[in-house]
């Protein structure tokens, strides 16, 4: 059983490498599809809007399209967490990939508002919700399958490798859309891009997902860790919210709430401020963020290796402190125009993105190590996605803070709050490096030593333990 023995001999089997690639490719395609309405549809938004719609109406439609996917992902984590924990990681991964591939292709075929009126807009929102369910299911199953077949001494790096699918997907679709707009102009409702050009990336995204299903079915086998674990008759979600599991989930929820709140300031608010406060054009903002996210992929690998050396818990505490201190200072340099030249703005932005977002390079590994095998997919999927909801209302928090300070500085406060939540979430949990992923029950105290499991990298701790 190569995946179990690999944990002890420090080697990765051929099957383990395929599972790792499948998880990475799945996340890359997943995030490619997530960014479709944000990047691809932005220049073609008029296709799904009433002609002459007010700015507020446009903002509501855009928010609904984005939020629909967001709301679908936790539901997908529940559904596919159950499928993964009860019937297998591989099956859940393939169903999820097929689902969002078909839903994405269906969006590419939608007629617009000018053809079928509001039905076209509502169909887009509905399909994005369905898309979100399947998107939330993909990493819920594929990532635990991959890490259950990885040696413990390399788990931090492998989890980071999987997570590079996120920044690399952003770079891919941003450059794809940028190039497409050069060939297919988007000027007015009757322009080629608005009428049909935007469909091309959706078709590509859907076909990539279905192609990955075909590859996955031939190359990735079920995890022996899951196959040999005893199966409980209790639904995974109910088991997750019992005693020690619930305590672990709430701790992860706190940590992830801080991460998502801080990330929203970078992923959602920063691009607008780069245009408003820094005075950059759309093209310059896009190219700046492509560079930042490309370097972020490298930073993820560094974060994974660092967490393998010093432990996950100390890593989160350090990055949480940086998010609460260094990140607000860097953000202020941008919005105050202290960083004035394009080169300086790029340097500060890259530093800001890496300080805040590189923390996600360790999240996958940590949450999977945090839960035992019978609730691992459910715990990982829900722990990762449910915490998105409260930070998603960041605009309302900004509006409230705007009574006390200029609106452009409100993200500074929310970055501090996010960093504090990360530190608290990490401090409340145990060290997970060296966790035994084959364990089926709680064997770990509520909190662990911050210096626990700090042996040299590349060698598995002989006292592997399950974190619960």
Q: How confident is the model at residue 187 (pLDDT cuts 50, 70, 90)?
A: confident
User: What is the biggest distance separating any 2 CA atoms in the chain, rounded to whole angstroms?
Assistant: 67
What angle do the packed helices 376-385 and 55-87 form, to 10 degrees?
170
Contact yes or no for 430/320 (Cβ under 8 A)? no
Tell me what the pLDDT averaged over the chain comes to. 88
Spatial CA neighbour of 392 closest among 251, 289, 267:
267
Contact yes or no for 257/249 (Cβ under 8 A)? no
Same domain, 247 and 380: yes
Q: How confident is the model at residue 440 (pLDDT cuts 50, 70, 90)?
A: low
**Per-residue pLDDT tens over the stretch 5-36:** 344 445 567 888 999 999 999 999 999 988 88
Same domain, 248 and 215: no
Same domain, 223 and 302: no
Q: Which residue has the tokens 């501090």?
A: 416
Average pLDDT over residues 345-368: 96
**Per-residue pLDDT tens over the stretch 71-112:** 898 999 999 999 999 999 999 999 999 999 999 999 999 999
3-state secondary structure of 268: helix
CATH of the domain at 299: 1.20.1250.20
Average pLDDT over residues 389-406: 90
Judged by phi (left if over 0) then psi (alpha if -120 to 50, else beta), residue 10 lies in left
Weakest-pLDDT range from 238-247, 309-318, 396-405: 238-247
Domain final position from 227, 256, 282: 227
Contact yes or no for 419/325 (Cβ under 8 A)? yes
Same domain, 157 and 131: yes
Q: In whole angstroms, give the CA distance from residue 223 to residue 90.
A: 8
Spatial CA neighbour of 389 closest among 71, 138, 34:
71
Q: In whole angstroms, give the CA distance from residue 268 to residue 128.
A: 18
Spatial CA neighbour of 209 closest among 443, 39, 31:
31
Query: Which domain does 51 fall in, by range?
Result: 1-227
Same domain, 91 and 107: yes
Same domain, 171 and 248: no
- pTM > 0.85: yes or no: yes
**Per-residue pLDDT tens over the stretch 220-229:** 999 889 988 8
Same domain, 36 and 172: yes
CB neighbourhood size of 373 (10 A):
23
Same domain, 209 and 68: yes
Predicted pLDDT at 376: 94
Contact yes or no for 216/65 (Cβ under 8 A)? no
Predicted pLDDT at 295: 98
Please say if the pLDDT value at position 394 is more than 80: yes
Q: In whole angstroms, give the CA distance from residue 197 to residue 141.
A: 33
Q: Which of 14-23, 425-434, 453-462 has the highest mean pLDDT?
A: 425-434
The share of the chain scoring above pLDDT 70, in percent, equals: 91
Query: Residue 401 contacts by C-beta under 8 Å, 6 or more apart in sequence?
Result: 410, 413, 414
Domain final position from 227, 243, 269: 227
- CA separation, residue 436 to residues 4, 149, 155, 203, 233 (Å): 10, 12, 11, 41, 23
Contact yes or no for 202/107 (Cβ under 8 A)? yes
Please say if the pLDDT value at position 188 is more than 50: yes
Domain final position from 227, 260, 276: 227
Total domains in the chain come to 2
The share of the chain scoring above pLDDT 90, in percent, equals: 63
Please say if the pLDDT value at position 299 is more than 80: yes
Predicted pLDDT at 429: 95
Same domain, 249 and 202: no
Same domain, 188 and 249: no
Q: What is the DSSP string of 167-199?
A: HHHHHHHHHHHHHHHHHS---STTSHIIIIITH
Spatial CA neighbour of 369 closest among 159, 175, 223, 177:
159
Same domain, 79 and 39: yes
Predicted pLDDT at 145: 93
Predicted pLDDT at 462: 36
**Per-residue pLDDT tens over the stretch 32-80:** 988 888 888 888 888 998 887 777 787 788 778 877 888 898 999 999 9
Please say if the pLDDT value at position 454 is more than 80: no
Predicted pLDDT at 234: 85
Please say if the pLDDT value at position 452 is more than 60: no
Please say if the pLDDT value at position 374 is more than 80: yes
**Per-residue pLDDT tens over the stretch 105-163:** 999 999 998 889 889 999 999 999 999 999 889 889 999 999 999 888 899 999 999 99
Same domain, 137 and 189: yes
Provide Rg for the chain, Cα atoms. 22
Q: In whole angstroms, give the CA distance from residue 110 to residue 11.
A: 48
């Amino acid at each position: 059983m190569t995946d179990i023995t690999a944990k002890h001999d420090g080697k990765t089997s051929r099957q383990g490498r395929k599972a790792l690639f499948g998880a990475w490719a799945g996340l890359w395609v997943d995030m490619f599809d997530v960014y479709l309405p944000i990047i691809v549809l932005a220049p073609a938004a008029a296709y799904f809007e009433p002609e002459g719609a007010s700015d507020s109406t446009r903002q509501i439609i855009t928010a609904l399209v984005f939020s629909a996917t967001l709301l679908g992902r936790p539901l997908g984590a529940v559904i596919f967490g159950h499928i993964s924990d009860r019937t297998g990681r591989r099956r859940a991964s393939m169903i999820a990939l097929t689902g969002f591939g078909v839903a994405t292709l269906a969006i590419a075929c939608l007629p617009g508002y000018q053809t079928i009126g509001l039905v076209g807009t509502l169909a887009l929102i509905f399909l994005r919700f369905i898309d979100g369910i399947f998107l939330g299911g993909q990493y819920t199953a594929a990532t635990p399958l991959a890490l259950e077949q990885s040696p413990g001494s390399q788990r931090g790096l492998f989890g980071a490798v999987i997570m590079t699918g996120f920044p690399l997907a952003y770079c891919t679709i941003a450059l794809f859309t940028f190039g497409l707009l050069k060939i297919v102009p988007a000027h007015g409702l009757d322009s080629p891009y608005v009428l049909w050009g935007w469909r091309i990336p959706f078709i590509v995204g859907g076909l990539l997902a279905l192609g990955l299903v075909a590859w996955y079915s031939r190359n990735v086998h079920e995890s022996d860790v899951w196959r040999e674990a005893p199966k409980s008759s209790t639904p995974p979600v109910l088991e997750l919210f019992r005693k020690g599991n619930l305590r672990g989930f709430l701790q992860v929820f706190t940590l992830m709430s801080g991460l998502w709140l801080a990330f929203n300031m970078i992923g959602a608010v920063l691009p607008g401020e780069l245009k408003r406060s820094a005075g950059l054009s759309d093209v310059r903002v896009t190219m700046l963020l492509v560079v930042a996210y490309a370097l972020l992929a490298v930073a993820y690998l560094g974060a994974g290796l660092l967490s393998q050396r010093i432990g996950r818990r100390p890593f989160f505490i350090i990055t949480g402190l940086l998010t609460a201190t260094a990140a607000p200072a860097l953000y202020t340099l941008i919005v105050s125009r202290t960083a004035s030249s394009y080169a300086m703005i790029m340097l500060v932005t890259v530093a800001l993105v890496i300080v805040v977002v590189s923390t996600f390079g360790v999240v996958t590994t940590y949450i999977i190590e945090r839960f035992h095998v019978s609730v691992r997919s459910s715990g990982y999927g829900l722990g990762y996605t449910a915490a998105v909801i409260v930070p998603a209302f960041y605009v309302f928090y900004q509006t409230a803070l705007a009574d006390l300070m200029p609106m452009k500085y409100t993200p500074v406060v929310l970055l501090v709050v996010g960093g504090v939540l990360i530190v608290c979430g990490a401090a409340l949990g145990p060290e997970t490096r060296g966790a035994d992923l084959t364990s089926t029950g709680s064997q770990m105290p509520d909190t662990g030593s911050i210096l626990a499991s700090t042996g040299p990298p590349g060698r598995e701790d002989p006292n592997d333990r399950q974190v619960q």
